[in-house]
Amino acid sequence: MDVVGKLEDLAARHPEKLNWKTSIVDLLKLLDLDSSPQARKELAGELGCPPEKMGDSAQMNTWLHKAVLQKLAENGGNVPPELLH
């Protein structure tokens, strides 16, 4: 599955201009998922975010963004390497 193509299509139809390529909040909004701080923290915990990153929201958010895209890739999505690193 072309993940970038699907996400770009969703972004084109979304009422907000979302920067999903770098923002976990925007990526979750685009996927119609809860993007609240608590939901992001819970998701980061479920995905195995290192404890040292959990205490710093910026580091956690950066880690979580990459982890979500990595999960999409692991489940058959075609995600460009530049979005995974």
Assigned domain for 26 exists: yes
For residues 21 and 65, what is the distance between their CA atoms, to the nearest angstrom? 9
- Is residue 8 in a domain? yes
What does pLDDT average to in each consecutive run of 10 residues of the chain (85 residues)? Answer: 91 95 96 96 97 96 95 90 84
What's the domain range around 65? 3-78
In a domain, 7, yes or no: yes
Establish if 68 belongs to a structural domain: yes
Considering the entire predicted model, what is its pTM?
0.89
pLDDT of res. 85: 75
Q: Does 59 map to a domain?
A: yes
Dihedral sign, CA of 44, 30, 65, 2? positive
Task: Tell me the one-letter amino acid at 4.
Answer: V
Looking at the domain assignment, is residue 83 inside a domain? no
pLDDT of residue 50: 97
Q: Look at the chain and report how many structural domains it folds into.
A: 1
Residue 84 lies in a domain: no
Considering the domain boundaries, does residue 85 fall inside one?
A: no
Asked whether 69 and 6 are in contact (CB, 8 A), the reply is no
